[in-house]
Amino acid sequence: MKGFRSITCLVVLFTLMLSFGCEKKDGVLFYESNRKGTADAPVKVVPKDILATQQAFTSLVKQVTPSVVNISTITKKKLVQPLFQFSPFFHDFSDGNQPRYRRDASLGSGFIINRDGYILTNDHVVRDAETIKVKLSNDTVYTGKVVGSDPKTDIAVIKIDSKEPLPVAVLGDSSKLQVGQWAIAIGNPFGLDRTVTVGVVSATGRSNMGIEAYEDFIQTDASINPGNSGGPLLNIYGEVIGINSAIVATGQGIGFAIPINMAKHVVEQLISKGSVSRGWLGVSIQPVTDDIAASFGLKKAAGALVNEVVTGSPAAKAGIKQGDIIVAVDGIEIKEVSQLQRLVGDLSVGKRVEVKVFRDGKDVKLPLVIGKAESAASKQEKPEEPQPATWLGMSVTELPREMRTKGLSGVIVSEVDPEGVAAEAGLQQGDIIVSINRKNVGNLAEYSMIVAESERKGSVVLLVRRGNASIYFVLNTR
């Protein structure tokens, strides 16, 4: 009986506890904003500019996303045969003498640029593709074919045949970009269909990244990940300002896009003839450092120093000389080597332009006809060594007779002190010193005489022949 009473008391106590707890609650499962429910929003007044920005992004995405496509490819790659492929044990791997192949699948992005079904993407997205499948925003899938590609800029054009009207992207003007502007990237990162990321233009004119031959990247912190490649980078008007192309794997928020203005010139040629022809001057150039600028009498380190002119090239016919500093082409000021390369590459073959060079302390204007890019490298033998004359931590000797018979002149560096001025400047054993302070060195006697004159100056400029290249070096003589 006592046990029964104890149990009854416990049940009553538990019931009272439940009742007490229920009285503390309001019986609501969750709270819904009074914009359509029963509770106030945490923030009652949102600034109008924030609402307008949000509306701008949503409207932009709604308008542009239909022109963005997903690209999937199958690439056929040859497998490397095992070392012991002729052993019966490895017969299954080698399959006799027949090569084995592997098929790799990859994903990328692109965007439709006209009603005929032409699509702009990256070259690396479709390079060596055996099959290309293009999926539109309405989930329709088409077979794509490569119209043309340009590995030097990482740009490719593919085409689909569609009977239905196609939505197209509108191309903007990347030359008007300013750092800090909004940037919106749309693509297919990691296979996640039509992902939108927002950031700003972090920088423009990024070059010397070692990604492509012709570089003028837009840097952005709008997230770009594998699969975004080939997708559009947009401004707030929904205009395409770049093609998402590369990321810094070790950095957060560092992505690169190819400026759309660079792409326009390439696309025209790819669609019309399937390849790209680039302009050519026929010079070998190097950057103008502060030391070189001071030695040549240039006010600031800018332009591109000509260290070699190809015989018979447009530059040679125009009168450009070794030692000239190219400071402007076609009215555009040259700030660095990579800019000159891009500018000349974009010029039409046969176009007449004016090249301004800095020579002997003054500007010289030369008319030039742009040629077609081509390789004009010539092979030369490496020099041998005889008796040295030492200066600035390097020893030089006369050129061997067989080298002189090939038209070479100067003296050859036979030895370089690792801790000397010459080594610090970058000279190497085997270099041929062609001129000092723009005075030609014909032999060891002339070299010694010019060296004696140069000792009184604070620095000297050496023109050096190394293999097939000519390079200028500035050495401090004090």
Question: Could you say which of 372, 407, 440 is where a domain stops?
Answer: 372
Mean pLDDT of all residues in 159-182: 92
Q: What pLDDT score was predicted for residue 314?
A: 92
Question: Could you say which of 276, 297, 321 is where a domain stops?
Answer: 276
Q: What pLDDT score was predicted for residue 20?
A: 45
The confidence band for 398, taking pLDDT boundaries of 50, 70 and 90, is confident
Mean pLDDT of all residues in 35-58: 78
**Of the candidates 155, 174, 264, the residue with the CA atom closest to the CA atom of residue 213:** 155
We report the CATH number of the domain holding residue 261 as 2.40.10.120
Question: Could you say which of 243, 276, 309 is where a domain stops?
Answer: 276
91 is a catalytic site residue: no
Residue 12, in any domain of the structure: no
Mean pLDDT of all residues in 437-447: 81
Per cent of the chain over pLDDT 90 is 29
Per cent of the chain over pLDDT 70 is 78
Residue 73, in any domain of the structure: yes
154 is a catalytic site residue: yes
Same domain, 227 and 351: no
Same domain, 94 and 191: yes
Q: What pLDDT score was predicted for residue 365?
A: 93
pLDDT tens digit sequence for 406-433: 677 888 898 888 888 888 888 898 899 9
Active-site residue identified among 123, 154, 324, 431: 154
pLDDT at 96 over 70: no
150 is a catalytic site residue: no
Mean pLDDT of all residues in 34-46: 69
Same domain, 249 and 286: no
Mean pLDDT of all residues in 222-243: 89
We report the CATH number of the domain holding residue 424 as 2.30.42.10
d(CA 104, CA 94): 19
Token duo for residue 127:
């390079």
Same domain, 319 and 457: no
Torsion-angle region of residue 302: left (phi > 0), alpha (psi -120 to 50) or beta?
A: beta
Residue 106, in any domain of the structure: yes
> Best-predicted range by mean pLDDT among 15-19, 28-32, 122-126, 273-277?
122-126
Range of the domain at 351: 279-372
Residue 454, in any domain of the structure: yes
Residue 32, in any domain of the structure: no
Rounded to the nearest integer, the mean pLDDT of the chain is: 80
Same domain, 467 and 362: no
Same domain, 89 and 186: yes
Q: What pLDDT score was predicted for residue 26?
A: 62
Same domain, 293 and 399: no
Q: Is 368 or 468 the better-scoring residue by pLDDT?
A: 368
Residue 337, in any domain of the structure: yes
Token duo for residue 442:
């014909």
Active-site residue identified among 229, 313, 414, 470: 229
Q: What pLDDT score was predicted for residue 375?
A: 41
Same domain, 202 and 288: no
Active-site residue identified among 72, 123, 124, 324: 124
Alpha carbon distance, N-terminus to C-terminus of the chain? 114
Residue 38, in any domain of the structure: no
Same domain, 194 and 327: no
Same domain, 265 and 400: no
Q: What is the domain count for the chain?
A: 3
Is this structure's pTM higher than 0.75?
Answer: no
d(CA 312, CA 469): 17
Residue 464, in any domain of the structure: yes
pLDDT tens digit sequence for 316-369: 999 999 889 999 999 999 988 888 888 888 888 888 999 999 998 899 999 999
The confidence band for 77, taking pLDDT boundaries of 50, 70 and 90, is low
Same domain, 155 and 232: yes
Same domain, 223 and 301: no
